[in-house]
Structure 1
Amino acid sequence: MSVTVASAAVLLGLPRADGAPGQASASADACRTVGAGLPRGDCGPFWQVLAEDFNGDRVPLGAFSDCDHRVDTSGAHCGGLTGTYRDNWWAYPTGWPDTATSRNRDVTGVYHPEDTVSVGPAANGDGRMSIRMWRPEDGGPVHAAAVVPRAVMEMKYGKYSARIKVVKSAPGYKSAWLHYGGGCEMDHPEGEWTGALTAFHHPCGGGAQGYFPGADDWTEWHTVSTEWTPGHVRFFVDGRQIGHDTRAVPDRPLSWVLQNESALQGPGAAPGSSAQLDITWVAAYAYDWK
């Protein structure tokens, strides 16, 4: 199978591994975002519809529960959430199988948002959404988590950005943040948390996947962005364009799913193990048709 490889653009502004901004003053994405802070405001052909830095109310473990309401629609919600988090977030309901189940992996996972997803301050006071996946001591399925920003469910085109870091790594855990449906799929970021961070584009109706290496290590802070416009999808890591594809790009509304689950490659998660991804901000934008 042939592979489309990214033509990397020059990196103009890169946050350092500690989250602080680099020396340069611009980046290649539409918002020209630099540094570690949450971008605010419209940019290029995009107008901002979500800007979440998780510095508001805490959401304890257990709150992302009762999520089986109007699933996979813009009306989906979790009954256990309250306030703005109920308004802004949904999660795959408890009991849904993860991708590894359909691939017949030895170690599979089941979505359990109630005991994997929480929001609160890190040790330095920074507000974060934490995704802590784990496998029971008895060797049962991995407890996985897929969270969905409601503001951009079933939306056609847009810009989707987040700042992320795996703060605890272990074999057997991965992410595949994606838009998919109708034979189309865009994945960014994707990869096992012990490996490299990558983007993929699966053209609508089939064909060779676009494969775009992005970063070597999930355990450093990275800003990831997908820009989806008519006939184009572009992927960015830390302000650097890592890939651009024009082949059979989706032209239908799709939801942005922040999917985290058991690994599809390499060893499965060991019994009693756990791993954690932190998200310090999420920003999303609709596409301006004018």
Structure 2
Amino acid sequence: MGRWVVLALVCALLAACGTGTVPSRESAMPTGDLAGWRRVLSDDFAGTRLSDRWLAYDGQPSGDPAGWFDPANVTVAGGVLTIRGAYQKARKRWATGGISTRRSLKQTYGKYEVRFRADRGRGIAYAFLLWPVDDSWPPEIDFAEDNGAGRDRLFSTVHAIGGSQIENSTAADFTQWHVVGVEWTPGRIAYTLDGKVWATIHDDRVPDQPMALALQSQAWYCGHTWQRCPDASTPATVNLQVDWVVAYARRAP
């Protein structure tokens, strides 16, 4: 009986039993190549600092006068990447963070998987996306994002050249750990959740130029058409946490 009491106390302190911020090993980072795919990046954030493979954002998010990217909000500890969102009195705005592979992995087509969870916090949105390495926009592939309204639905959007969008969404509790992913091939995109394809796009608007992977959270301004903004209900700290990331390149036919 005493052992179970101790276990219950540990779970309460670490919030590790089902709902917490300590990742279980139920979904360990994949190793090796896959059929048709060659692994080109993997990171389980086992150290105490961000790997040189990543570039941390710093400064004003494009098109968002209320937000700010602060590299200090990106930390690695306990096998987890944490991207913190918090109000900065000195700047009088909410600051978040983001990282990109633009210094280490830039490719046309690929397969990506990210194991993550996010704290509840109105107005602090997250996004996992593929962004053109030449910074032209569009295109953009958002394979997992929300608008800061809640953590019960994930949105995926292709921003195509010319301004059109191809949108999909699926429901789950994203305060819990999940693996989200995308398979990007010529004229086709498949979105995955916990290893299962939940939406597929076959369209000539699918991007065909080199892109980098980005992981970020962001505080948006009030009055935006889709994203929510922080309010009195928003906790002082809202964390986006990532357990691991893997990326693959297509093998030659």
Q: TM-score, normalised on structure 1?
A: 0.69
Alignment CA distance shift 1:246-1:152 (3 Å): farther
The equivalent of 1:218 in structure 2 is: 174
Percent same amino acid among aligned pairs? 29
Cα pair 1:162 1:225 within 8 Å, conserved = yes
Q: Which residue of 1 aligns with 2:141?
A: 186
3-state SS of the aligned residue for 2:213? coil
Contact between 2:219 and 2:229, CA under 8 Å: does it hold in 1? no
Q: Is the 8 A contact 1:171 1:267 kept in 2?
A: yes
2:55 match: secondary structure: strand
Counterpart in the other structure of 1:91: 56
Given the superposition, is the C-alpha separation of residues 235 and 172 from structure 1 closer, same or farther in structure 2, using an over 3 Å criterion?
same
Asked if 1:266 corresponds to 2:228, the answer is yes
Distance 1:232 1:45, change over 3 A: same
Residue in 2 that maps onto 1:241:
197
CA distance in 1, matches of 2:207, 2:62: 23
Deviation at 1:236, TM superposition (A): 0.7
CA distance in structure 1 between the aligned counterparts of 2:213 and 2:44, rounded to whole angstroms: 18
Deviation per residue, 1:69-115 (Å, 9 max, x gap): xxxxxxxxxxxx7xxx12x111122x2335432xxxxxx1111112x
Question: What do residues 214-259 of structure 1 show as CA deviations (whole Å, max 9, x unaligned)?
Answer: 3332201110001111111111111221211122111110111112
The residue number in structure 1 matching 2:9 is: none
Deviation of 1:20 after TM superposition, in Å, equals 6.3
- Residue 80 of structure 2 corresponds to which residue in structure 1? 128
Match of 1:30 in 2: none
RMSD of the TM alignment (CA)? 2.5
In the alignment, what sits opposite 2:3? Answer: none
Please give the residue correspondences for 1:57-136 in structure 2 after superposition, counting only pairs within 5 Å: 57-59=47-49, 85-86=51-52, 88-93=53-58, 95-101=59-65, 108-114=66-72, 116-121=73-78, 127-136=79-88
1:275 aligns with: 238
C-alpha distance in 1 between matches for 2:161 and 2:202:
11
What letter matches 1:96 in structure 2?
Q
**CA deviation map 1:38-91 (0-9, x unaligned):** 001111221001121112x212xxxxxxxxxxxxxxxxxxxxx7xxx12x1111
- Alignment equivalent of 1:231, drawn from 180, 184, 187: 187
Is 1:149 matched with 2:105?
A: no
Look up the equivalent residue of 1:176 and give its one-letter code.
A
Offset of 1:165 from its aligned partner?
Answer: 0.7
- TM-score normalised per structure 2: 0.78
Task: Output the amino acid matched with 2:42.
Answer: A
2:141 aligned partner, one-letter code: M
Question: Structure 1 stretch 133-142 or stretch 170-179: which is displaced more?
Answer: 133-142
SS at match of 1:259: strand
**Contact persistence 1:234–1:245 (CA under 8 A):** yes
CA contact (8 A) 2:124 2:229 kept: no
Secondary structure at the aligned position of 2:88 is classed as: coil
